[in-house]
């Protein structure tokens, strides 16, 4: 299958769109797939190709502060990180609306992402019932716990924090899937995580699955990997979306 890979600006968002050349002008099921921290949309292109070959229109955005939107990282711990996720959340609906109004995406919507993109994915599930399926890869559904982890680590290094740190990030509990798992609402949800991951805690997902993994719609794949995704994992993610959405 010949694929069309186009790069364009959607407002201020740099986009890579991957879709079958033959069907690129048709209304197709949509997957928005988010990259990780200090990465870029190009590094999710292989996953995008896998998904597009199955009939999806795949949108790979550059998060704020990343890729072609790269900005210097601030000295205040986690400000750039949370700002990037927050902007993803603001822009998600804008991307979907743009494609649907032009007849390029139907009402089947999937979301996935790596690491920071996985956190974006679980956060979106809390506020967007129109999402049909989601894959959190090397991310965490426990955003509040991750916020506390960053604070603890940076405090141990005697880094500066604003005294109203939690107030400035008061939106996070509202987007923490672990605090409102009922928002999953039976939708297919895949977690993939490496047991040796020291960047985003594997234990976060283990704890979430221990509480909610008995539900048929939630899958958990764990492997002896670090913070790394191999082609074999991309194939599993692709198969998940095929079974969930097509």
Closest CA to 107 of 137, 133, 135: 133
Question: What is the model's pLDDT at position 63?
Answer: 97
Question: What is the model's pLDDT at position 152?
Answer: 83
Question: What is the model's pLDDT at position 163?
Answer: 86
Mean pLDDT of the residues in the chain: 95
pLDDT tens-place string over residues 161-184: 888 988 999 999 999 999 999 999
Question: What is the model's pLDDT at position 78?
Answer: 86
Does the pLDDT of residue 157 top 80, yes or no? Answer: no
Question: What is the model's pLDDT at position 162?
Answer: 86
Does the pLDDT of residue 214 top 80, yes or no? Answer: no
**Cβ atoms 241, 189 nearer than 8 A:** no
Q: How many helices (H) and strands (E) does the chain have?
A: 7, 8
In whole angstroms, give the CA distance from residue 44 to residue 61: 10
Question: What is the model's pLDDT at position 71?
Answer: 86
pTM for this predicted structure? 0.96
Question: What is the model's pLDDT at position 194?
Answer: 94
In whole angstroms, give the CA distance from residue 4 to residue 46: 13
Q: Mean pLDDT, to the nearest integer, of 221-229?
A: 93
Closest CA to 201 of 138, 148, 157, 112: 138
Does the pLDDT of residue 12 top 80, yes or no? Answer: yes
Query: What length is written for the chain?
Result: 246
CATH code of 3-245, in short, is 3.40.50.1820
Question: What is the model's pLDDT at position 74?
Answer: 85
Question: What is the model's pLDDT at position 128?
Answer: 98
Closest CA to 235 of 137, 94, 158: 137
Q: What are the angstrom distances between the C-alpha of 58 and each of 49, 112, 148, 198? A: 8, 10, 33, 29
pLDDT tens-place string over residues 27-84: 999 999 999 999 999 999 999 999 999 999 999 999 999 999 998 888 887 889 999 9
Q: Mean pLDDT, to the nearest integer, of 96-113?
A: 98
Residue with the larger pLDDT of the pair 201 and 112:
112
């Amino acid at each position: 299958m010949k694929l069309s890979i186009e790069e364009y600006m959607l407002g201020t968002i740099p986009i890579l769109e991957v879709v079958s050349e033959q069907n690129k002008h048709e209304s197709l099921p949509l997957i928005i797939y988010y990259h990780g921290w200090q990465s870029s949309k190009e590094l999710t292109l292989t996953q995008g190709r896998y998904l597009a070959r199955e009939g999806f229109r795949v949108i790979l955005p550059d998060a704020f502060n990343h890729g072609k939107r790269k900005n210097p990282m601030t000295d205040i711990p986690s400000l750039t990180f949370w700002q990037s996720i927050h902007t993803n959340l603001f822009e998600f609906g804008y991307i979907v609306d743009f494609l649907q109004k032009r007849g390029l995406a139907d009402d089947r919507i999937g979301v996935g992402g790596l690491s920071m993109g996985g956190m974006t994915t679980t956060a979106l599930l809390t506020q967007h019932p129109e999402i049909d399926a989601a894959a959190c890869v090397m991310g965490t559904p426990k955003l509040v716990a991750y916020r506390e982890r960053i604070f603890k680590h940076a405090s141990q290094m005697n880094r500066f924090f604003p005294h109203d740190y939690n107030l400035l990030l008061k939106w996070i509990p509202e987007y923490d899937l672990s605090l409102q798992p009922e928002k999953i609402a039976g939708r297919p949800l895949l977690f993939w995580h490496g047991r040796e991951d020291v960047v985003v805690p594997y234990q976060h997902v283990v704890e979430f699955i221990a509480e909610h993994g008995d539900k048929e719609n939630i899958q958990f794949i764990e492997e002896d990997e670090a913070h790394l995704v191999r082609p074999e994992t991309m194939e599993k993610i692709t198969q998940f979306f095929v079974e969930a959405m097509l």
